[in-house]
Amino acid sequence: MPRREPTIHNPALVVTCPRCGSVPGALCYDTRGSRLPEGRVHRDRAAAHRDRKTA
């Protein structure tokens, strides 16, 4: 089975980022308004996604 590398479809993108306020489906932005590299989100957002699954 081929391995799929995550690109823009980071699972954490389904939640709103508590750090930068990016809405679900939107990439994170840093403090200067620059978009984070595809597939990268703030640690808080990844945590929020995890909490969402367990809560």
User: In this structure, what token pair is assigned to residue 39?
Assistant: 């597939």
Answer yes or no whether residue 42 interacts with Zn ion by CB under 5 A. yes
Check binding of 48 to Zn ion (CB under 5 A). no
Beta bridge partners of 29: 35
> Could you please report the per-residue DSSP string of 21-33?
-PPTTSPPB-TTS
28 is a contact residue toward Zn ion (CB under 5 A): yes
The reply to whether 20 sits near Zn ion by the rule CB under 5 A is yes
Phi, psi of 29 (to 5 degrees): -120, 145
Check binding of 19 to Zn ion (CB under 5 A).
yes
| Binding residues vs Zn ion (CB under 5 A) | 17, 19-20, 28, 42, 45
